[in-house]
Amino acid sequence: MDQLTTLHTNFTAFDWAIVIVFLVASTVAGMWAMRYISDMEDYVVAGRSVKTYLGVASMIAAELGLVTVMYSAQKGFACGFSAFAIALLSAIAGWIVGLTGFIVVPLRRMGVMTIPEFYERRFSRGLRVFGGIILAASGILNMGMFLKADSLFITSVVGMTSDTQLKITMSIILGLVLLYTTVGGMISVVFTDYLQYAVMSVGLVVTSVILMTRFGWGHVVSSVVELKGDAGFNPLLPESGLGPVYLVWMLFLGFIGACVWQTSVMRATSAENEHVVRRTYSWGAVGFLIRFLIPYFWGICALVYMAQHPDLKAIFLPEGAEADSSVQLRAMPIALSNLLPAGLIGLLTAGMLAAAMSTYNTYLHTWSAVLTQDLVAPLCGNQLSSRARIIIARIIMCLIAFFLLVWGLWYPLGEHLWDYMAITGAIYFTGAFATLVGGIYWKGASRAGAYGAFLCGFITVLGLSPVQKALGIQWRSEYVGLGVTLLACVAMVVLSLLFPDPEKECG
């Protein structure tokens, strides 16, 4: 890694000015939105007044985080064009959800604010608390590594070599997000997501066009043919690093990302009506495609760039072995910092910071809302006033932010980021998928089945490499994830049939 500290970057003082102006404007705008908060409904779901285009901007801005750009670029760098299959499957899943209204429309029809609120209405208050704890714990753990990945991008682009500078910068960014998210709630999230979407979308498109102009599409394709052969294009080949089972897992994750993951579902519950929900998801499918497609392409361009420079090739594409994961993650930002002119690299960094901040504010807001609405409020017998709930949500938000700093910046990560994220997310969503589908579409689903499905989710920790090492096993994460999902569905059906809810027995 020492070799990387001497690499050149085009990032200048002018680029810093662009980034600072953006940070200040975003924070001021977010804090200005606080004047529109009068009760918990304003705070959590923006008074349920979000319309289609604003919903699309907010959804894409939140789901296209810098962490997504980082791990997707790494995938493009490692798998070439084969990685495009993941983007395609994600878009297909989002589009099907928009077309059918699968899960999200019934949730909006019920008028719930969070998914655990659905658990209470459909099953019991106990399940709401249990589901809320698992959802928030899984989501917060999942988010724990965002700062780490984002810090790799910032370090590489601006040429900062000191870890202390990096930690201070990221702490300031998180502090700014915390400031306007705790004060303004969902209205701030929607408001700043809109501003951040504008900056980010311009940055994404302009950078992609410059890369295409610089390399030429034909040259990029021929370089991947030379470097990777068929495996660089055919995702069904195991040599591509993907394969058929992995693609099924990715399709399932596409559905989860669209209709089970709380941050996406918040867009459905905030929507003005069911029609807006469907349209938001149908158009949002383009966002689901692009959030992976563009960073994959940047990763592929980084591959071509590294292959052209012998000094970089030795670091990023060593003979006979694959580079370390953290080195691969740096490939895309280092390539961009050398390929883009001064000024544009500042705009891109502002766009990427926008992507990071809109993700942080959404996640901070979502998990604090879930813990307040689904854990604290039910435990207090739902007697809390709207004002008390907002204060509790703000305190929880600060605690989560503190955890993120400790976990993400100061705690050493011992495994691959994408595997960590998929498995920590799966602890919740494998059980939630069975519970939501059963609860919405099957009258016979019971609370025993729901508890069983959630408990099955814990088995996914077997997908974490430290656990596998401790147990002496070596299972691929896609097999663990899909297997546990199937098991959770079986648990839901079998336990519901064996232990139906009392009212069902009477009926």
Partner 1 sequence: MSMQGFWIPLWTFIWFAGLTVFSVLSVFVIILGGKDLASLLRSLRERHRQQETSAEKTQ
Binding site for partner 1 (CB under 8 A): 36, 38, 42, 46-47, 49-57, 60, 81-82, 84, 87-88, 187, 190-191, 194, 197-198, 201-202, 204-205, 208, 217, 221, 225, 230, 233-234, 283, 286-287, 289-290, 293-294, 297
Output DSSP code: residue 271.
Answer: B
Min CB(387)–partner 1 separation in Å:
14
Closer of 181 and 207 to partner 1 (Cβ)? 207
Q: On the CB side of 204, how many CA atoms lie within 13 Å of its CA? A: 26
Closer of 96 and 434 to partner 1 (Cβ)? 96
Q: Are 431 and 173 in contact, with CB atoms under 8 Å apart?
A: no
State the Cα–Cα distance between residues 290 and 362, nearest whole angstrom. Answer: 19
The dihedral built from the CA positions of residue 340, 342, 344 and 350, taken in this order, carries a sign that is positive
SS3 416: coil
Q: Name the amino acid, one letter, at 409.
A: L
Q: Are 74 and 298 in contact, with CB atoms under 8 Å apart?
A: no
Q: Are 414 and 464 in contact, with CB atoms under 8 Å apart?
A: no
Closer of 205 and 471 to partner 1 (Cβ)? 205
Residue labelled with tokens 């563009």: 294
Q: Are 37 and 372 in contact, with CB atoms under 8 Å apart?
A: no
Closer of 15 and 42 to partner 1 (Cβ)? 42
Closer of 38 and 161 to partner 1 (Cβ)? 38
Output DSSP code: residue 114.
Answer: S
Min CB(197)–partner 1 separation in Å:
7
- Structure token pair of residue 218: 């034909």
Min CB(157)–partner 1 separation in Å:
22
Min CB(395)–partner 1 separation in Å:
24
Nearest to 123 by CA among 451, 488, 490, 453: 451
Min CB(230)–partner 1 separation in Å:
5
State the Cα–Cα distance between residues 295 and 85, nearest whole angstrom. Answer: 13
Min CB(129)–partner 1 separation in Å:
31
Min CB(336)–partner 1 separation in Å:
17
Min CB(299)–partner 1 separation in Å:
13
Closer of 116 and 235 to partner 1 (Cβ)? 235
Closer of 187 and 357 to partner 1 (Cβ)? 187
State the Cα–Cα distance between residues 66 and 64, nearest whole angstrom. Answer: 7
**DSSP secondary structure of 78-90:** HHGGGGHHHHHHH
Closer of 80 and 378 to partner 1 (Cβ)? 80
